[in-house]
Amino acid sequence: MKRFLPLAIRLAVLVLLIVFITEPNVFAPVFKPLTENNAPPIYNQGSLLTLTLLHLRVVLTATVAATIVAVGLAILVTRPSGREFLPLSRSLVNVGQTFPPVAVLALAVPAVGFGQKPTLIALFLYGLLPIFENALTALTTLPNAVMEAARGSGMTNFQRLLRVELPLAFPVILAGIRLSVVIGLATATIGSTVAAKTLGEVIIAGLLSNNIAFVLQGGLIVGALAVLIYDALSGLERLAARRMAPKEEAG
C-alpha cells in the first residue's frame, strides 16, 4: 500500500500534465480567478505542447553533451597517465558553477547569436560539475576485490573499463546525471530571455502582462517535469544499483 500510493500520485501527475499541455483550455476555469481585466486564463501565444517538447529537447541535448565530456574527463584523470590533469579538469567543470547562467547567456549571445545555442552552452556548462564529480567518485571507489579479479582474469585496461568499471560506476554516474537534468530543467527557462523556445516564454509573458495565471502555468509544467524525471531516474538508479550488487558480492 505504501508503494501504491506514491505510484498512484505519480501517475496522476503524469496524466494531468499530459492533459494540460495537450488540452489546456480544459483548465481555464481553474486559472480564471488568477486573471484581471478579462485577461486570458490560459497561455495563448503559442502551443504549450510544442514549448514543452522544445524545452525537453534543449535539456536533453545539453545533458548528453555534458555527460560525454564529464565522464570522459573523469575516465582520463583516473588513469595513471591522466592524473596530473585532475586540477585542470576540476577548474574546467567548475566554470559553469562560477558564472551565473544569465552571465553565460550574455557572453554567449555575441559569439553565437540569439536562440537555442546560447541556452545550450549555459546548460552544458552548468551540468558538467555534478556529473564529473559523481563519475570521479564512482571510478575511484570501486571495490578492490573486483578490480583485482578483473586484472587476474587477463582483461586489458580498456576491457576492464568497459566491462567492469563503467558498469559498476553507472548508478553513481546516473545520480549525477539526475541532478544535472533537474538543474537544467529549471535553468532552461531563462533561455527565453535570449529568444530560445522554452517554457520560459510562458513565464515571461505572464510577467510582462502581469498575468499570474501564465506564470503559474509555466512554473507548474517545469515543476511537474522535474519531479517526474527525477523520480524516473531515481528508479533507474536503484534498479542499476540492485543489478550491480550481486556482482560486487561475487567479486
Go through 34-55 and write b for each residue having 16 or more CB atoms within 10 A of its CB, e for each that does not.
bbeeebbbbbeeeebeebbebb
Q: Using an 8 Å Cβ cutoff, are 126 and 228 in contact?
A: no
Q: Using an 8 Å Cβ cutoff, are 118 and 195 in contact?
A: no
How much is the pLDDT for 251?
Answer: 46
pLDDT at 162 exceeding the cut of 50:
yes
Across 36-45, 92-101, 104-113, least confident range: 92-101
Q: Model confidence over 62-102: pLDDT tens digits?
A: 999 999 999 999 999 998 888 888 888 888 888 777 878 88
By CB atoms closer than 10 A (0-12, 13-18, 19+), residue 228 is middle
Mean pLDDT, rounded, of the chain: 89
Q: How far apart are CA 112 and CA 121, in angstroms?
A: 10
pLDDT at 134 exceeding the cut of 50:
yes
Domain ranges of the chain: 4-250
Q: Model confidence over 181-229: pLDDT tens digits?
A: 999 999 999 999 888 999 999 999 999 999 999 999 999 999 999 999 9
CATH of domain 4-250: 1.10.3720.10
